[in-house]
Chains A and B, each alone.
Chain A
Amino acid sequence: MIDSKIPDGPLAEKWNNYKAKAKLVNPANRKKLNIIVVGTGLAGASCAASLAEQGYNIKSFCFQDSARRAHSVAAQGGVNAAKNYKNDGDSTFRMFYDTIKGGDFRSREANVYRLAECSAHLIDQAVAQGVPFAREYAGYLNNRSFGGVQVSRTFYARGQTGQQLLLGAYQGLLRQVSLGKVIMHTRHEMLELVVIDGKAKGIIARNLETGELERHVADAVVLASGGYGKVYYLSTLAMGCNSSAIWRAHKKGAYMAGVSWIQFHPTSLPQHGENQSKLTLMSESLRNDGRIWVPKTAKDDRNPNIIPEEERDYYLERKYPSFGNLAPRDISSRAAKERIDAGHGVGPMKNAIYLDFSDAIKAQGKDKIEAKYSNLFAMYEKITGINAYKEPMLISPSAHFTMGGLWVDYELMTSIPGLFALGEANFADHGANRLGANSLLQACVDGYFIAPYTIPNYLASELNAPKNDISHPAFDEAEKAVRAQLDRFLNSKGTLSTDYFHKKIGRLLYEKCGLSRSKEKLEEALKEIKLIKESFEKDLLLTGDDTLNSELEKAGRIADYIELAELMCYDALQREESCGAHFREEYQTADGEAVRNDADFCYVSAWEWKGKEHKPELHKEPLVFESVELAVRSYK
């Protein structure tokens, strides 16, 4: 039976109650305890720095060449906080409710409330670190609004909020490196979790410069390795983003939850050709001023600027009048796909919709629009060669964020004691759909404010546990398994490259386990994945040696993606309802809206790995709602 460890008491008191009772480790004992943190994005860097400040010894790992490059850096739009600086009716409860509703009532009340509760202090923390958030002329912090809400609670630093927050966390982390409390391992990839007597006690990491396998032992292991949207190949994620750290932990016993809940971002650039490697995101903040439309007539090839107003279909404003162009991401993306599939898509590949700024430029002037979005417009022009001040942007939905991830309890601990998962690597707070500007928030809150209480609470009882070292047989066994897989890849003399397999699995998921799913498509996908898996084992072609070798790195990540894709399909198949980003074609209303089934599916699906030859086992964590009423999620 799954225990989510939600504390007693009324919703607003739960976190305070937890903190009041959490066990502590005295300052003299903290330096005897070692913690491994994998990932240096917002969650990993903030957690590592905060625990180091308390006095623990931290080893921090990232695959990039510097901790500052983790993919949090790419978040553009902003970070939410219930400060109510705009005096427009915001509050902790309002933010909690927006997030629960945005997630289509598939997340835990207690977790989400805590996220909203800690949000305000995050802004304080970031400002103190020197994050240059946007200001009003009087010097106070500015806000804007984002999809799925009716208040302005989003703090931002031009279109580079993620970068600025990450630099704050990264600088905090390097400050601890200079003080000797954090040992940094850049260009290292975790390839195995080491479990001793049922507890997470270390990792096997590969030095990506030399190829050496290293053993690292600790009293607790934190995975803050990000999301796995790159499983779709074409996505808004960085090329190196991967599922390997969490997937290998999953195969060691950690449950995965909400695995098929993948957010498709509505405003990314459309695909233009076969050799494309990535879909660039245009911040959702553009929807504050841009209007989304397609031609009313299907296959209308005219230049958008000469299509008269009455022949344009502003379909979001038409279908969702109260939220309009700021409808939540899942709804906007699905509406776009519906229009594109119905033949109204625009652009050379007919796979896009228009995001039009002409009305905003007319009303506010070009200067105002430039001040808000100049870097985004410049980026758009660099990539497409098109000036978006003069004609509408072409945009389309693309795989972006994984609500799913390692299952964690209220303490952010996985089903393996001593193994914690933070940020996008866990499944916890966003339910079946994440609201814009909540991901930077969750990563930061997990790392700055939650893990620094819950990890010491665990470590307090580990203080007197027997100490292990890297000569333990569990390390031998883990290293042997890693070695065997690397050797198998290095001896792959087939005909097909790693990218071939990545693109193949990605395309399959886009078609059959993407924006919309059905029993039929998912069953087909499961059969096809089996074939891809067999082909990967015998047809892979890999060159290079066991030192610095990017193809070898990719091979391991793709092997994991193929297994993960299978679990995504099992998860989507088992959930016979539509909720948030999970849209099952069999479960919709006559006008195409999602039909949730609270009677049968009001639970978190947590999956247990049962070995290569067996189906995963489902564990259900019931979702209990005490403070909100389950409602049909309407943005009309």
Chain B
Amino acid sequence: MMAAVAAADGGVPRSRSRAAAIAATLGACLLGAALAALPLFGIGPNLIRLLFVTLVWVTASVAWNLLGGFGGQVSFGFAVFYGLGAYAAAVALNAGLDPFSSCLLAAGVAVVASLAIGLPTFRLKGPYFAIATIGVSEAVRVVMTNVSATGGASGYRVMERGTFHQLQHFYSALGLAAGAVAISVLVRRSRLGLALVAVREDEDAAADLGVSPLRAKLLAHAIAAALTGAAGGIHARYAAYVNPQGEFAFAISVAILLMPIIGGVGTIWGPVIGAGIYGLVHEEIIAAFPELHLLIYGSLLILIVLFEPAGIVGLLGRLMRFAGRHRRRGRVRAASTP
């Protein structure tokens, strides 16, 4: 699988990769502009809400990919950052802080949590980090269910003064998602990105070359946590209500892990595509199969790992290579027949 991932993002020749990068940047700007202009065409509030939620998912998915995709460190507990961010923003908003500072605070709280999880587990090679993340959201949920200051199990209401502008929420989520993609591009091209990929491929070899695996993993974890926490904060402000069963739900961790896997783990655009599909389809799936949706996601995970580890991006690449070979063969035949 590692090889497949490496081929998906590293196997492109330099000259073509520059053209592809320019095309991707242009496409991204167009996509962002189209999304930003969409509300002007009078689409309904429900569609705007769906897009808002999808953009929150895009942020979390891109964040997970920073650590899981580039660094190869699987986390099953991103709901912790999402939930802590949501609670921190909720408390800050109720204390009268402005929305921007509240989301910054949410990101900060998530970063602290990421260090608390990362410091003991990242020092060691092996499965310790993945193991620890299995329990961490469970443990935090239990604690938050029993903290009476934030309403315990019955949740916590966000009371913000002023009128509700749905578009303001939409644009803040769009801004955050765009920022997340930009950070993902920057990280991928930075020393940190190279260090993460090196750690993913071979931690010992990376350490021999002078890369500090601990620092790279901690830093990626912190950036990912900050983005996910801010996403949780933005969503909490929109929903105006947080509760332990919702924000720290196991299903949230599953979703945040599933989206980049569907789209293409370790790539820039895979997590965006995966989150786009998940965000738009998830509610339909829940409505159609209320008891089956996690079964469907689990089967999907198994199928992807076994048959297309590079996700949709990998599938597209395979199709394009296939089409290219076909076309070339057609041309050769056309040249030889007359």
Is B truly associated with A? no
Residues of B within 8 A of A (CB): none
Residues of A within 8 A of B (CB): none
